[in-house]
Structure 1
Amino acid sequence: MSIFRVILAALAAVLVLPQMGHAQSRQQGESNLIGTLAPVSPEFYWPGANYDPAVPTPHSVLGYQIGQAITPHASIIDYFEALAAYAPTRVRLVDYGRSWQGKRLIYVVIGSPENIANLSAIQADVQKLADPRTLTTSEADAIIARHPAVVWLAYSVHGDEIGPAESSMQLAYHLLAARGDQRMAEIAKNTLIVIVPMQNPDGRDRFIATNIGSSGLAPVSSPIAAERDQPWPGGRVNHAQFDLNRDWFALTQPETRAQIAAYLSFYPVVMVDSHEMGSDRNFFFPPEANPINPNVTQEQIALKTLLGQHNARWFDQIGLPYFTRESYDLFYPGYGDGWPTAQGTISMTFEQGSARGLMIKRSDGTFLTYQETIKSQFVAVLSTLEVAARERMRFVRSFYAFRQSAIQEGRSEAIKSYLVPTQADQSNADKLAGILTRQGIDVARATTRFSACGRNYAPGSYVISAAQPTKRLIRNLLEVDTKMEPAFVAKQERLRRAGLEDEIYDVTAWSLPLLYNVEVQACTMDPNVTTQKAGTALILPGKLVHGDSKVAYVIASGSTATTRFMAQALQAGMIVRQMEGAFKLEGQTFGAGSLVVLGGENAPSLEQNLARLADSTGATIIGFKTTWVTEGPSLGSDKALKLRNPKIALAWDSPTDRNSAGAMRYVIERKFGVPITPIRVRRFAKAALSEYDVIILPDGEGDYQSAFGQAGIANLNNFVQQGGVLMSVGSATSWLAEPDVGLTGLRREQATMTDAEAKSKQADPKSKPGSTTIEGLNLPDVGAFVQAIASPVREPTELDGAILRAQTDQEHWLTAGLAPNLTMMVSGSAIYRPLTMDAGTNVVRFSGPDQVKASGIVWDDSRQQYGFKPVVTVEGKGRGFVVAFTIDPTYRGMADGLDSLVMNAIYFSAARARPTR
């Protein structure tokens, strides 16, 4: 069927709306919302297709043909269950997890009857291939000779990228029913196909609800139609407002954790992550754009190119436009293609321009239908399967060789191991070990003391050998910096200086030790020490250390476990005190910010409750027989401040940034177990805020001023004056700093001038009064021309996501228990002038210009201007406080090293505020 005929049919048809995937009629006399588009010829999906009528079609299960409606999550599962029931010897359906909302996460294995019957043996074989240390060469050759190429197909990680999930059903039907496609026999024999039809069911169903709720009699092609104008937060993110395509090594979300565990049970040799993009764009498949992660091998690039070239041949034959190399790089290892690539998989992102509905009119006047977007994904994946089947042994051997060479590199290169010493925040070190282990990395925990690379290590230190199959992933995650090609960086510098947009797609830094604020030493030896294998637990149990008499219990500051204990103890109704200064009790010294629980202030069941909290939070709780302090503040003094269990509200909905709002909520609720109340921004103008102790304004992506209005500003100001704590993040801080708002004394800076700019400004020609002309200016070279066209007022250079160093004011109560030095992800261009001493306190500030860069691409002018500028400020306002973060401390939910800073800002500020209620 021609594209023209498809468009005419869609325009003439009534809207097709699935209700849980089954056609339902409306009341008699009304138009049926379940209409029918013109039948889709098999040739629309594949030339010469001839399908076995016995195989369940999508239409027979869904009530409509593929592409005539956007199929909900439950109905997609219905279809795959129908296929599994029809062909149990060729199809295996497995539940591998649940989404936040409890929706089923499934994968479907399709293969020959022999391969499905031998599925357990195939998985056992690949576990051996994945660890060449366990195999002889002859054993490896034997497995490679018999092992099918496992191809992992992951669809619709973003919920509003609707076509890929639909395409998964069309692919499965074709694999089982096609009789006119001669490739199917070889694909069935030589591959094992694992289909994840939907990675983000919560986001997809949210999009569908919006689309259905705005639909009418016929499909609407207008790009601004309500059916594709997604209200906040849109369908892209999951329930927790996370972008799942950036979570692969962070492992913050249940959907990601579950898929990685499933992936590691198969170790596919080829993987496709199917996406959609803007409607005006055609289809993208690799090769990728620069920069390429330095841990990607040349063989991986060659195989990606082989697959891309084969895709191109089919796209040319069928008449589908595509592009490669111009966008979508392969640098960040947190994507659905980057992380598997670091494991040895030939992993690719496919991107198709999206209809965001059944049909859309593009800006050039042409139409794009939902069926077309499904078709292109279907063609590209079939092409990929064809190559994987034909080149089965090459792909399988490539995977084995990748992991074998990783071991050899770990043995031969200078860095032989990564050592994680026991440290003040052992809780974060333990979590780092658990996160690495969950990704198939061997992590060992020392059971004895040992020495290596010039220092001593205590029992409990972690040892991560580089001589293991995951060495390249280890380097990606633990190295301080992952280098870009110098030529690429130089090009970006030229673009930046010319006032053009750079080509950096995402962050330039992600080192987990820096984000966790955990010390990791790269060591030139693999220490000889007795160890035990680290587990996958992210929180190790703490302990309750008994004294002779339990009149006081102390939880030392400096650990995220202590922060977890604080939050959960207050939730449980305990009375908890925070010590403003260091003190000594029974010969033991505890730092400022340590917590004290007094037996006389709490219930008789205190010790049992403390034991339970030690186990769940990882905190070490020490019992004492006396409260007699020999140095520092007494346990009953004003400097032993009783903490409040604050009631927290979070600004929600537009104009907040969904990722920032979601990450803040995730950190507070999921990491620390503290419930918060999201309040839609439009309610702040009139809402009674006095019932809350803390209000948080996350980073924004819109106009806070218009959303709040003068009434909202007045309400926030009154909230603070009457004893509330207002906490702002990122662009919300910029809004509070506006002179018309005035809730903080911070002010955004313009870009600083270079020497040449300052000189140019001094010689800037001025027009004479009343003149329509300006004095002449000689431009002797290109540099002078660039200066002449430069904007006289501009923002500081934007960072694309780098990690910067900062220092804490160790004398301030907000930083009690925090390390003197912190590292944090910074993106954007907002830089602020420090507060003057009469206005407030700069409690966390960036390091000086020569030390501020920790990792990533930091332009020289950025490095200079960030030096000593504020990260967190505290200002007293009336009876309350304004705590302003100039960066987002909850970035992607993976900046664990700043979690205690966030909770300190909430709890320690609320305890010092003096609310009138």
Structure 2
Amino acid sequence: MTKFLLSVFLISVTFLTAQNLKSPSEFLWYELGTQFTRHHEVVDYYEYLAEMDMARVKLIEYGQTNERRPLLLAFVSTAENIQNLDTIREEHLKSTKGESDANKSIVWLSYNVHGNESVSTEASMKTIYDLLTSKSSYLENTVVIIDPCVNPDGRDRYINWYNQNKNTPFQIDPNSKEHHEGWLSGRSNHYMFDLNRDWAWLTQVESQQRLKVYNKWLPHVHVDFHEQGVNDPYYFAPAAEPYHEVITNFQRDFQKTIGKNHAKYFDANGWFYFTKERFDLFYPSYGDTYPTYNGGIGMTYEQGGSGRAGLGVIIGNGDTLTLSDRIAHHHTTGLSTIEVASKNVDKLNMEFKKFYRTKNFRYKSYVLNGNADNIKALEELLGKHEIVFGRATNGTVKGYHYQSGTTSSLKTDEKTLVVSTNQPKGTMVKVLFEPNAKLSDSLTYDITAWSLPYAYGLDAMATSTIVNTAQTAITANNYKLNPSYAFVTDWDSMTDAKFLSDLLKNDIQVRTSYSPFALEGKNYQRGSLIITKSDNEEHKDFLNTLSTISKKHSKDLSSVSSGFVDSGKDFGSSYVQMIKKPKVAILSGGPTSTLRFGEVWHFFEKQLQYPLTVIDEKYANRIDMDEYDVLILPGGSYSSYFDEDKLKNLKEWVQNGGKLIAMGGAIDGIDGENGFGIEKKENKKETSETSLMPYENAQRERMKNAITGAIFKVKIDNTHPLAYGYDSQYFTLKLGNEAFKYLDNGNVAYLESNSKPIAGFAGSEAQKNIQKSLVFGAEGFGRGQVIYMVDNPLFRGFWENGKLFFANALFMVN
């Protein structure tokens, strides 16, 4: 068959298929918008389209969620384009090397990253149907990639809850229960993580699996469909300031082009909308910024509704907002986006190619020394982003030194990690590694600092020249262990914490030293792990089990023939204590934040891999807490939770030997005279005459008291068990202005006088209030311990250097 005849045949088949395709309403047996569609039904419809129109729809399963729901991508285009899909992709990616003759636009539409923003997936079905029928002309020069549901676990959680609690027919009164979702909302994924904050950090399986495919396509346009408050009109591009400085003029201008096209349709329908407000392009881990920093036009679209809206609800102006209304709006912007892309193919390809030209960034290389496990963890993250890195050679480099904030020198060797901006992902490297991102406006939607050298606790240098790298050979470790008096290893990373967790779960007895010591030619720091043969005599397979666990975690163990140390404390000293295998519980529900709870839950199950008992606040008073050694209170709002009886019971439990870990807002519930004694620092207000200002300036004035995710250098008392494995300083990510006074003793991490942010925004009044304040601390209470974590070391799972503090709180503090 000739190429011409093949084209005629494909066109004929396409026309006949389109005529026979069922709409979502016809397929589902109910009018779209009158019910919520469960995830398996959505999957059924996409599979139906792929089967009925296999020439124009290619459906792949790119992964599964924690709850085993499939994650799908639908590739939609003309039959000819689908037939040549790999060729189109390969030609497009040549643009990152400046070699492409690509003539197609690539548009990626992501729906329902927040599960209870449920209209998105419904709109996706209407959008793909119209692309295959009435709007098929858009596909001639465009490949559309549709992810119908980024967060199936959260979406089904919301829909199942709604169907169980709604009236029949649905009730539009906003006071009805169906408009008041409970604590465990559908917004987040299984582990209660916000997937729209995880694009850069990749802590969640959904993000990890999605990015593998995303990096194979790097679309010209990416849209993240959301919902906001029920009374808000629709939001679409262009975004608000601040824009990160790496965003190009074209990326800014094309957002306006798309926005104006949307406005044309919204104006014709009399629909309200707003632009250039609230949703900025700065924090790198969003579904709009991450694609933008990879050369695309990344955008957030926000429909009013979310979990409050249900199938219909009365809004503030007296109108009724229905699910059908919400579908219409997202459907319109989705098709409008594809329309604009199809009309600007040449421009999109030309500018995408320009984006990947080598840029003259101020810093050309980022050079990092430090803990080998932390460097390895950072390399794993970079590998997932397909960011190229290497190891240095012996020498010295000069540049901006992160730890001192000055220009100085740094020695390098084969263990030194080097990440250069001279690579296709160079813009992403700058955004993730730069010491302090330039902020054009203090009014931001999220945190303003995230620099990876601080997050991973590495000694870093940013250089204005490219630092050469060399291949380094990796030496295999020998994990066959011979009988010995004891085995000793270091304690300074999350790898060590995972290793200890595995040992304890396998009933291997482990000791730790509260004092530095030297033995058989090696120096060991506080917290070093000591595994003696005599402690484990009753373990039937001690050496084989220890060898297996060591190999699993790539841990080198030093075999020692005696517990008689050269300096420090002998192994029989009271300074060398057995590490208890703690039974740990965490409070959930009510006063806790779902996000803060989820961070701890995920830390235990997916990182530390240590058992955790979840106790809901509804029945917590019926639990015998004497069964547990540790109780974690994750961040939240506890001001009204701890009544006199609850606080009394909690204090008695600690006095009897319990260990309490209070994080963030939980400290508010246990402070003061009736609590555990920790005192809040109150922001002193000026007593001078009232300052008058225009109403429109009030929001900016309030920013003086705000800290929007800024990095501060703090002092560390690394002789305390809570800080084992740390140096004398630590960089903390401070998320708010709340501050607590120093403890009488046990101030482990703290801000000194004149502390200023190393990176990110902190208002002038907020800075005053946090001077000489606690970050992490521990104090004895009876026979127990209270550990305070004012800042969150587990925030979004990406602040790698904070996680050892949490492990220390579990295992080292007694």
5+ residue gaps, structure 2: 1-15, 399-408
Q: 1:151 aligns with which of 77, 90, 107?
A: 107
Give the CA deviation at 1:784: 7.6
Q: Which residue of 1 aligns with 2:579?
A: 643
Using structure 2 for the length normalisation, give the TM-score.
0.92
Q: Which residue of 2 aligns with 1:127?
A: 93
Give the CA deviation at 1:708: 4.1
Give the CA deviation at 1:580: 0.4
Q: What is the CA–CA distance in structure 2 between the aligned matches of 1:884 and 1:848, rounded to whole Å?
A: 20
Q: Which residue of 1 aligns with 2:788?
A: 884
Count matched residues.
780
| Farther-moved stretch of structure 1 (710-719 vs 158-167) | 710-719
Q: Which residue of 2 aligns with 1:812?
A: 720
Whether 2:121 is the aligned partner of 1:165: answer yes
Give the CA deviation at 1:564: 1.9
Whether 2:483 is the aligned partner of 1:483: answer no
Q: Counterpart amino acid of 2:213?
A: A
Give the CA deviation at 1:632: 0.6
Q: 1:78 aligns with which of 31, 44, 47?
A: 44
CA contact (8 A) 2:241 2:281 kept: yes
Superposed CA deviations along residues 95-129 of structure 1, whole A, max 9, x for unmatched, are: 11111111100100011111111112122223322
Q: What is the CA–CA distance in structure 2 between the aligned matches of 1:597 and 1:639, rounded to whole Å?
A: 15
Query: CA distance change for structure 1 residues 455 and 818 in 2, over 3 Å: closer, same or farther?
Result: closer
CA contact (8 A) 1:592 1:816 kept: yes
Q: Which residue of 2 aligns with 1:12?
A: none
Q: 1:597 aligns with which of 531, 534, 548?
A: 531
Q: Counterpart amino acid of 1:128?
A: K
Q: Which residue of 1 aligns with 2:753?
A: 848
Give the CA deviation at 1:814: 2.3
**Match of 2:709, SS?**
strand
Q: Which residue of 2 aligns with 1:627?
A: 563
Q: Counterpart amino acid of 1:107?
A: L
Q: What is the CA–CA distance in structure 1 between the aligned matches of 2:557 and 2:766, rounded to whole Å?
A: 44
Whether 2:633 is the aligned partner of 1:697: answer yes
Q: What is the CA–CA distance in structure 1 between the aligned matches of 2:320 and 2:497, rounded to whole Å?
A: 55
Q: Which residue of 1 aligns with 2:600?
A: 664
Q: Counterpart amino acid of 2:386?
A: G
Whether 2:373 is the aligned partner of 1:465: answer no
Q: Counterpart amino acid of 2:158?
A: F
CA contact (8 A) 1:84 1:93 kept: yes
Whether 2:356 is the aligned partner of 1:403: answer yes
Q: Counterpart amino acid of 1:373?
A: R
User: Percentage identity across aligned positions?
Assistant: 30
Q: Which residue of 2 aligns with 1:433?
A: 379
Q: Counterpart amino acid of 2:82?
A: I
Query: CA distance change for structure 1 residues 631 and 542 in 2, over 3 Å: closer, same or farther?
Result: farther
Q: Counterpart amino acid of 2:329?
A: S
Using structure 1 for the length normalisation, give the TM-score.
0.82
**Match of 1:690, SS?**
helix
Q: What is the CA–CA distance in structure 1 between the aligned matches of 2:462 and 2:54, rounded to whole Å?
A: 50
Superposed CA deviations along residues 47-74 of structure 1, whole A, max 9, x for unmatched, are: xxx9955102213332212111111111
Query: CA distance change for structure 1 residues 474 and 150 in 2, over 3 Å: closer, same or farther?
Result: same
**Match of 2:618, SS?**
helix
| Farther-moved stretch of structure 1 (69-78 vs 683-692) | 683-692
Whether 2:458 is the aligned partner of 1:518: answer yes
Q: Which residue of 2 aligns with 1:897?
A: 801
**Match of 1:276, SS?**
strand
**Match of 2:812, SS?**
helix
Q: What is the CA–CA distance in structure 1 between the aligned matches of 2:575 and 2:704, rounded to whole Å?
A: 42
Give the CA deviation at 1:682: 2.5
Query: CA distance change for structure 1 residues 613 and 848 in 2, over 3 Å: closer, same or farther?
Result: farther
Q: Which residue of 2 aligns with 1:829?
A: 737
Q: Which residue of 2 aligns with 1:32?
A: none
Give the CA deviation at 1:531: 2.4
Q: What is the CA–CA distance in structure 2 between the aligned matches of 1:544 and 1:882, rounded to whole Å?
A: 41
Q: 1:417 aligns with which of 358, 365, 368?
A: 365
Q: Which residue of 1 aligns with 2:510?
A: 576
CA contact (8 A) 1:311 1:380 kept: yes
Q: Counterpart amino acid of 1:401?
A: K
Q: What is the CA–CA distance in structure 1 between the aligned matches of 2:228 and 2:561, rounded to whole Å?
A: 64
Q: What is the CA–CA distance in structure 2 between the aligned matches of 1:64 and 1:785, rounded to whole Å?
A: 55
Q: Which residue of 1 aligns with 2:402?
A: none
CA contact (8 A) 2:479 2:551 kept: no
Q: What is the CA–CA distance in structure 2 between the aligned matches of 1:519 and 1:477, rounded to whole Å?
A: 16
Give the CA deviation at 1:440: 2.3
CA contact (8 A) 2:50 2:58 kept: yes
Q: Counterpart amino acid of 2:352?
A: F
Q: What is the CA–CA distance in structure 2 between the aligned matches of 1:371 and 1:883, rounded to whole Å?
A: 50
Q: 2:469 aligns with which of 504, 529, 542?
A: 529
CA contact (8 A) 2:642 2:670 kept: no
Cα RMSD after superposing both structures: 2.3
Superposed CA deviations along residues 521-574 of structure 1, whole A, max 9, x for unmatched, are: 1122223332269xxxxxx99945678753211111223222221222111111
| Farther-moved stretch of structure 1 (263-272 vs 841-850) | 841-850
Give the CA deviation at 1:480: 1.6
Give the CA deviation at 1:318: 2.8
- After TM superposition, the structure 1 = structure 2 runs for residues 349-388 of structure 1, keeping only pairs within 5 Å, are 349-354=300-305, 356-388=309-341
Q: Which residue of 2 aligns with 1:193?
A: 144
**Match of 2:458, SS?**
coil
Q: Which residue of 2 aligns with 1:8?
A: none
CA contact (8 A) 2:122 2:327 kept: yes
CA contact (8 A) 1:286 1:348 kept: yes
CA contact (8 A) 1:543 1:618 kept: yes
Whether 2:354 is the aligned partner of 1:449: answer no
CA contact (8 A) 1:806 1:845 kept: yes
Q: What is the CA–CA distance in structure 1 between the aligned matches of 2:209 and 2:475, rounded to whole Å?
A: 23
Query: CA distance change for structure 1 residues 784 and 891 in 2, over 3 Å: closer, same or farther?
Result: same
Q: What is the CA–CA distance in structure 2 between the aligned matches of 1:172 and 1:548, rounded to whole Å?
A: 63
Q: Which residue of 2 aligns with 1:94?
A: 60
Give the CA deviation at 1:820: 1.6
**Match of 2:645, SS?**
helix
| Farther-moved stretch of structure 1 (629-638 vs 50-59) | 50-59
Q: What is the CA–CA distance in structure 2 between the aligned matches of 1:155 and 1:413, rounded to whole Å?
A: 34
| Farther-moved stretch of structure 1 (823-832 vs 199-208) | 823-832
Whether 2:78 is the aligned partner of 1:174: answer no
Q: What is the CA–CA distance in structure 2 between the aligned matches of 1:609 and 1:547, rounded to whole Å?
A: 10
